[in-house]
Structure 1
């Protein structure tokens, strides 16, 4: 029987000592098994599958622990991630995402996530920028929930960045707001605060670190895309999350006949495809 997240962290946090750790927030029952399997194959030592109700054991690959909390709350990611940050040792690498999201990083077909994070640590980086690349089914009449791994599409262009401003209107150093994908093309259905596609999804814990509701951190250096002296690694999260929401929500589901457009491209489930299009950056890692 799955334990409540807080109870698990209070009694069994020792299981999380060896990172990197993945936290997968299960908001619904779509593609939970493939999401968890993808995390295991990427090389995470432990995956916490956080769900509102206990998951079937059949969905949990080796190394996956199911814990429960209300994952349908708008800020569930804040509660879950910050609770784990407080429970694990400092300098533990963590990743967080949602069901029907799949992390890709440079050369991930042949390398493990731990190798990449070791290199990133050697470059004195404590966090990694990830771009959330929207996936969507090619045919909504056959896949009304907008999810199809076998016929997944994504936007090959239409991405852009704007300088990030602080509360005083000043441009922040090495920080940008990234836009594109379905959040850009269907922005009339997306609240302005949720239109960015950047997420600091990979990070190393330290005392006082807190995740904020907008997927940034309270330590500004964590929110930078690179160090001051050269480009760093970035990664990509391919995600059906926005497509699911647009296909489900009453305000948008009857207004959208298809997500396909002239710049749609079949997703090949390869990191190299994303690198070729500039949707993630290998930096100095070869």
Structure 2
């Protein structure tokens, strides 16, 4: 079904928010939009909602399986406003958000549905899950100028690190169980990335509750939501494998001519399997056996 605006969706589409988990997919352009929607449908989300301009087309099968909300600018402030409005309108359900050409992976996702994983996570008394945005890029930019290729996708196998997250309200002391994570293309080409956009951590999966607000840096106003683990043991984390940085670096006139290739000696072919991400330490299974 198609809704002409976010306001119409919130008024007449509440049935799609009655039960989670719900995936909110924001289309910044039409690159790999269909594959993004299909990937998240395959994970078992109760609803997959696409926020996209009216001019974008979807295949017939996705038109039947996904809800479509018209949004001319599905990035930045409009995206956050949509997430916050849905969080307010649908309390106490699990929500996930991402952009097109981004693909969620969690430990053992090939055999376990997203609902199973979040049921386990809830039993661990967790209301949010840290995800790492792992940059994907085409193996050869001469053959794939927009840097997006599912068949030749690569990622960095090393070069990731974390720094303590200072608390401005407590004399810049490190925040408890919170870190800022870096790596991937945002690290290797940081001269082209604004400093406030270099982090690769994102709280992409969370349980909605009254008063919860998504911030510009993909954290929440509830500090416990921004932690990577509970106080007593490590918890699950997930990965959002994303062509978004590669697309931006190759479409921005200020960086595209400075970048001939993204591949380097630490590039490996992306296998589209959670085992590879676990082996590389790019997500954590916690107690999820």
TM-score, normalised to structure 1, is 0.97
Matched, 1:67 2:65: no
Matched, 1:271 2:278: no
Equivalence for 2:191: 188
Per-residue deviation, 1:74 = 2.5
Counterparts of 2:44 and 2:210, CA distance in 1:
25
Counterpart contact for 1:54–1:66, Cα < 8 Å: no
Counterparts of 2:72 and 2:213, CA distance in 1:
19
Instruction: Provide the secondary structure at the position in 2 that maps to 1:50.
Output: strand
Per-residue deviation, 1:119 = 0.1
TM-score, normalised to structure 2, is 0.96
Equivalence for 2:158: 157
Counterpart contact for 2:26–2:74, Cα < 8 Å: no
Runs of 5+ in structure 2 lacking a partner? none
Deviation string 1:20-70 (CA, Å, 9 cap, x unpaired) is 000000000100000000010011010110012254341626531010123
Instruction: Provide the secondary structure at the position in 2 that maps to 1:75.
Output: helix
Q: What does residue range 223-238 of structure 1 map to in structure 2 within 5 Å?
A: 223-238=226-241
Counterpart contact for 1:6–1:83, Cα < 8 Å: no
Equivalence for 2:107: 106
Counterparts of 1:61 and 1:72, CA distance in 2:
18
- The change in CA–CA distance for 1:6 and 1:54 in structure 2 (over 3 A counts) is farther
* Superposed CA RMSD: 1.2
Instruction: Provide the secondary structure at the position in 1 that maps to 2:59.
Output: helix
Equivalence for 2:283: 280
- The change in CA–CA distance for 1:163 and 1:206 in structure 2 (over 3 A counts) is same
- The change in CA–CA distance for 1:112 and 1:62 in structure 2 (over 3 A counts) is farther
Equivalence for 1:213: 216
Counterpart contact for 2:30–2:56, Cα < 8 Å: no
Equivalence for 1:260: 263
Per-residue deviation, 1:10 = 1.5
Q: What does residue range 19-30 of structure 1 map to in structure 2 within 5 Å?
A: 19-30=20-31
Per-residue deviation, 1:14 = 2.3
Counterpart contact for 1:159–1:181, Cα < 8 Å: yes
Equivalence for 1:197: 200
Equivalence for 1:13: 14
Counterpart contact for 2:36–2:103, Cα < 8 Å: yes
Counterpart contact for 2:137–2:153, Cα < 8 Å: yes
Instruction: Provide the secondary structure at the position in 2 that maps to 1:76.
Output: helix
Equivalence for 2:179: 176
Counterparts of 1:157 and 1:53, CA distance in 2:
40
Per-residue deviation, 1:72 = 4.8
Counterpart contact for 1:22–1:47, Cα < 8 Å: yes
Per-residue deviation, 1:12 = 1.8
Per-residue deviation, 1:260 = 0.6
Per-residue deviation, 1:3 = 2.0
Per-residue deviation, 1:83 = 1.2
Deviation string 1:195-225 (CA, Å, 9 cap, x unpaired) is 0000000000111111011100000000000
Counterpart contact for 2:28–2:75, Cα < 8 Å: no
Equivalence for 1:251: 254
Counterparts of 2:98 and 2:120, CA distance in 1:
22
Point out the more displaced range, 12-21 or 229-238: 12-21
